[in-house]
Amino acid sequence: MSLMTTFQGILLRRSLNSIAGFLKQRLWWMALVVLAIPALQPFLTYGLQRSFDGEIHLLRLALLDYHIQHGTLYPRWLPELMLGQGAPILNYYAPLTYYLAEVFHLIGLSYTSAMMAGMALLVLVAGWGMFLLARDIYGSETSWAALVAATAYMYAPYLLTNIFIRGAVAEVGGQAVLPWLLWSVYRLMHHPKPTQYILPLVASLSALVLAHNLTPLLAAPMLIGFFLVCWRSEHWSPQRLPHLAFAIALSATLTGFFWVPMIFERTFLTQGAYDLAASLFLPNNSWHWNNFLDLRLLFNYNFGVPVQLGLVQILLAFAGMVLARRRDMEWLFLATASILIGASIGAWTLPIWLSNPILTAVQFPWRLLSLLSLSLALLTGGVALGVRCGWLRIGIALLLLGLIVFANTPRLAWLEPQSSVFADLTLAKIAQYEKDTGSMGGRGYTNEFTPLWAGINTSPSSEDAVVSPLQVKLHEGNAFTLHGTLASTAGGQLLFTTFYFPGWQVMLDKNKALKTYPATGTGHLSVDVPPGSHEFTLAWVGTPLQHLAAAISLAALAILALFLWRRLHMRNMALVVLAVLCAGIVTCFWSVPSEEIHTPEQRIEMANMQLVGYRFERERADTLTLYPYWFVASRQPNYRLHWQLKDHQGQVVSEITQTPYFDTAYTSDWPEATPSILLSLLACLLNTTPFMFSHSWRVSLASLS
């Protein structure tokens, strides 16, 4: 009995010790959650407020959600942008933070709440990563100093500026991942079992690439320098280099589906953003001696440029650099990196930024504050690190935490709340936003993601004339496909209202791919149709390069899953990777089912313009979205179309009068034929013009005016 009691006592003590150890490890993480509350207080008090880019990201989130709900997990091309003419946003813009917000939306939050939840989580991820990194760099028994560094990073003015002023959710994602990446490199280079840190390095590096296009480019020199410092401390031993090379190679191939097309298909976009960056953004966003530092104790969050350093931020970092009493290579690296990064934002470096298109794409030199905020936060922890007495260190740390929170907490009562429209975006609201703001393609006046061939002239040139009339009948379609039949006695040209872009394919009779090309003057997708009667299918299929990059990424996922499965303690992660692999395979090979295109009960035709069909979908429980397809052969007047929705007894239950595409476009802007076509020939344009309805019965076009 005594032996049994002793055994039970031992088990109880071990259990209590395990629980205490678990809580001790998590206590610091929970402390960071509490410390982050004042930084996120504007979300709690005012909700999502208006920011420079916030509305654009909400539009993209809504479109991503729309296509995920309809079965397309990764829509490189967003057909609804540019007033229904399409733009390849997600082929070029890192999508990871949109997917993070989408998770919150799928569990029931509105778009604005989901965006707030995503950014709040990223702030915590940034703090947790910085805590781990600082504790490793500072050494053992330095958790209070690491807590100071993590808090300084969460309250870095640039991080909070990106959240509340710029609405730059992707850049916030990059800042959140950076400390995890450095921590992974540090552990892989120093830990006795480096294999354990291959997965964290692969995950953090991949997340950085998929979170923000520019942060990996800007962070590369700092990452290389940090690696060299870690390698030197290991006496340049080559023993760990294979682990590092394997992790980098695996990350590069995992993310290849995104960065390979993003880089090598950049020539498919207009170059206007580069010209604007060189002539306007770079010269007006460099630091001078009189504008790099906010001299107020309380950091002033505003829309002014260039973005500045905070007074408390720079003073505490300088104090930490001195008081830490460290002269090792790691500390010297942090101090040197801070000076060099800060100097690189100065106006004297402008010729360097303008010397290369890659650097010009950065647009704002103060984006380097992502890196500078990290190094300054690590130096700030040095203030507490330099205090040897345990209780005194705790007291100093608490004072530092209070000062950091007090000085850098955003005070944003002056900022306008985000319009309630963005909480529940629909396709109609997105189109209206583009029309009202001119933010075409979800980007604004920079035209950053506008296809190279997209023109402002709505009239094809005479060289695009067709040689005979075409007859078109449509059968089924969706946002990415259109299937029908066409007939022509001598062949001719067929135009679609989507912009031309590599990745669109037109198949004839299921076995012949027609050459696609941009219509001169408009950039609309065009094909030359041969004589006779044929079936045709228009579909977004992607480019060969996109297919190759996706295949390589899928292979890399399989390799990673195998690598994890061979390590018993990582098999749960292997299952997660396998799930991602399955989702990737579905994304590559799943085709969204097409919807029937209904033929009008009565022939609706006027002046070389004919309604050839329509489809509809229930975008909301109480609304019906109608997609009419028009066949247009010549210049049209500016029609307003009156639509009615009738029940089975013919009673009108809803009606609306609008111009095409959610009342944002005009039939008079549809491409016109050349004079020779107007005489006897025919140029063709298929046009989709959605409208919103309540209820769902029978649709009819009542009149045109």
- pLDDT of res. 688: 40
- Cβ atoms of 49 and 43 within 8 Å: the answer is no
pTM: 0.91
pLDDT at 608 over 90: no
> Out of 348-352, 419-423, 512-516, 624-628, which region has the weakest mean confidence (pLDDT)?
624-628
Q: From CA 657, how far away is CA 518, in angstroms rounded?
A: 32
Q: Is the pLDDT of residue 514 over 90?
A: yes
Compute how many other C-beta atoms are within 10 angstroms of the C-beta atom of residue 676: 12
- Element at 428 (helix H, strand E): helix 427-437
- How confident is the model over 637-691, as pLDDT tens digits? 888 877 777 777 778 777 778 888 888 887 777 765 422 122 222 223 333 445 4
Query: How far is 155 from 161, CA to CA, in rounded Å?
Result: 10
Rounded-to-integer distance, Cα 207 and Cα 205, Å: 5
20: left (phi over 0), alpha (psi -120 to 50) or beta: alpha
Other C-beta atoms lying within 10 Å of the C-beta of residue 479: 25
Looking only at the bridges linking them, the beta strands covering 691-693 and 623-632 are: antiparallel
Q: Does residue 544 surpass a pLDDT of 50? A: yes
Lookup: tokens for 436: 């009202």
Provide the pLDDT for residue 14.
58
- Rounded to an integer, what distance in angstroms lies between the CA atom of residue 173 and that of residue 322? 31
Beta bridge partners of 524: 499
Give the range among 135-149, 400-414, 441-455 with minimum mean pLDDT.
Answer: 441-455
What's the CA gap between 356 and 673, in Å, rounded?
43
Q: What share of the chain has pLDDT > 90, as a percent?
A: 62
Average confidence score pLDDT of the chain: 87
pLDDT, residue 271, reads: 85
**What is the per-residue pLDDT across 314-372, written as a single tens digit (0 to 9) for each?**
999 999 999 998 889 999 999 999 999 999 999 999 999 999 889 999 999 999 999 99
The C-alpha atoms of residue 280 and residue 178 are separated, in whole angstroms, by: 29
Residue 549: how many CB atoms within 10 A of its CB? 23
Per residue in 171-225, pLDDT (tens digit) is: 999 999 999 999 999 999 999 999 999 999 999 999 999 999 999 999 999 999 9
- Mean pLDDT on 266-272: 90
Phi-psi region of 212 (alpha: psi -120 to 50; beta: other; left: phi over 0): beta
- Name the amino acid, one letter, at 633: A
Residue of higher predicted confidence among 636 and 40:
40
Q: Which pLDDT band, with edges at 50, 70 and 90, does 494 fall under?
A: confident
Average pLDDT estimate for 591-604: 86
Nearest residue to 156 (alpha-carbon basis) of 447, 371, 353, 6: 371
Q: Specify the pLDDT at position 370.
A: 98
Structure token pair of residue 312: 């408390």
| CA 148, 149, 154, 160 torsion-angle sign | positive
Q: What is the pLDDT of residue 2?
A: 60
Q: Tell me which of 57-61, 102-106, 696-700 is least confident.
A: 696-700
- Using DSSP's 3-state secondary structure scheme, residue 97 falls into helix
Q: How many CB atoms lie within 10 A of CB 482?
A: 24
Locate tokens 């046009």: which residue?
A: 687
Rounded to 5 degrees, what angle do the CA atoms 483, 486, 489 make? 165
pLDDT over 80 at 8, yes or no:
no
Reduced 3-state DSSP string for 257-304:
HHHHHHHHCHHHECCHHHHHHHHHHHHHCCECCCCCEECCCCCCCCCC
Angle between helices 544-565 and 256-264 (to 10 degrees): 150
